[in-house]
Amino acid sequence: MEQQRTVPPADTSFGNSSPILFKGIITGVMILLMMVPTLFISSLVQERKARQKAIVQEVSQRWAGAQKLTGLFLILPYETLDNDEKGRQQLVRRDLFILPEEMKVSSQMEPAVRKRSIYQVLLYHSKTAFSGEFQFSLPKDINSSDILWKDASICMGLSDIKGIGEKVVVMLGGQQYELAPGLPNRSLVKTGLSAPVDLSASAGQPIRFSASLDLKGSEQLHFIPFAGNSSYDVQSAWPSPSFDGNTLPAPYDISENGFHANWTFSKANLPFGTVLRAPDFNEEDFSFGVTMVQPADQYAKTERSVKYAILFIGLTFSLFLVVEIMQKKPVHPIQYVLIGIALSIFYTLLLSISEFIAFDYAYAIATLATVSLITLYAQSHFREWKVSLLFGTILTMLYSFAFVLVRLEDTALLVGSIGLFVILALVMYGTRKIRWYPGGAATA
């Protein structure tokens, strides 16, 4: 008679854990799927941002665009002999550009914020004074007698003449000249103002000049240092300037009452002299100035907030998974979808509300609405206020953490990395006693 052998039951702990494993996989897939709405939200932010930009451009076109000034310079025509195509000599008329030997520029910018629909457009009104002196160091191959002194022109480069508020009068050698749109020669600058002057009386002697310019513009005021030695002084009550170009002001001062900046140039740091024949350089290489910046607008802040959507969705879904395992009250995938949609709607609330009120208040309202909704939803499912308040507390902390990151600029990456490490550590510590395998030993 054969002896029956008793076969011990197989270890089914892993098999019994398959529902948890399956639910974890489903939760991970749901987290990834819920990132899709955030892509549409990002597109919505870009659309609203583009709409704002279009409004700004429309208002700027009617007011005046960004302005770029060169200061004053002279155009001196002269006659010289040159060979034509057949080798015959003929008298040719050419131009010399005479830049100031010394020039001082002082500008006062008055910001003007205009509202169009729900958007704000940053404009300005400036008063700029020019003063200095021209000296005539003619090239060796050009005699003073070759210069047509009576046909000279006093000119000023200006990017958008629509912004001129009052007539532009130049005092040159004791005489007044009113500038009109147009330039006799556009080799140096493309657009600007000019007036014909007769320099026969001075005929090469140093001559003083002064002028004032009442000008409107949008956001940006730039200068081109067309002078031998020059200084530029710009003041404004706007507290958020951005200094542009290859040259930073020194010194400058920025406070809540505005800014004051000064630029200084000399012949030693400019690659051109005060007498030019055919300019062969790009004026943009020397452009500098200031842009009146609106501090991080609501679209930029909302866009930065959307970048942390994976953090909110991932941690919230993970928290629901852990609580449903501990409470043994399964959460249906459809419920996860509803929670994910609630987390996504936070960003549309933030975007829409921040277009009407300050971003900080909009963030607080959107956070309160989203946290309250998810907290009450957790209460309706788990039937325990202790658990639902846990959800509310953790979500509030997450949104507060994201708000700090949005407000930071230079240190956002450092603070964010440290914060995420701390959050991960807390999650690992809080789930250390969960028995992921039935019958397995809990971690101490």
Give the DSSP per-residue string, 95-112: EEEE--SEEEEEEEEEEE
Regarding pTM above 0.75, the answer is no
pLDDT at position 88 over 70: yes
352-400: pLDDT as tens digits: 888 888 888 999 999 999 999 988 988 888 888 888 888 888 888 888 8
Residue identified by tokens 């030993």 is: 441
Q: Where are the beta strands (DSSP E) in 118-228?
A: 119-134, 152-158, 169-172, 175-178, 180-181, 192-197, 207-218, 220-223
pLDDT in tens, 260-301: 999 999 988 888 888 888 777 777 788 899 998 876 577 888
CA distances (Å), origin 209, targets 104, 188, 212 = 11, 20, 11
What does the alpha-carbon distance between residue 381 and residue 320 come to, in Å, rounded to a whole number?
Answer: 11
CA distance 314 to 420: 12
Q: Which residues contact 303 (CB under 8 A, 6 or more apart)?
A: 42, 45, 46, 49
Q: How far apart are CA 343 and CA 374, in angstroms?
A: 9
- The region that residue 159 occupies, defined by phi over 0 for left and psi between -120 and 50 for alpha, beta otherwise, is alpha
CA 385 to chain centre: 45
**Strand, coil or helix: 409:** coil
Domains of the chain: 16-50+299-430 (no CATH), 66-294 (2.60.40)
Of 13, 31, 10, nearest to 436 by C-alpha is: 13
pLDDT digits (tens, 9 = 90+) for 214-263: 999 998 999 999 999 999 999 999 998 989 888 889 888 999 899 999 99
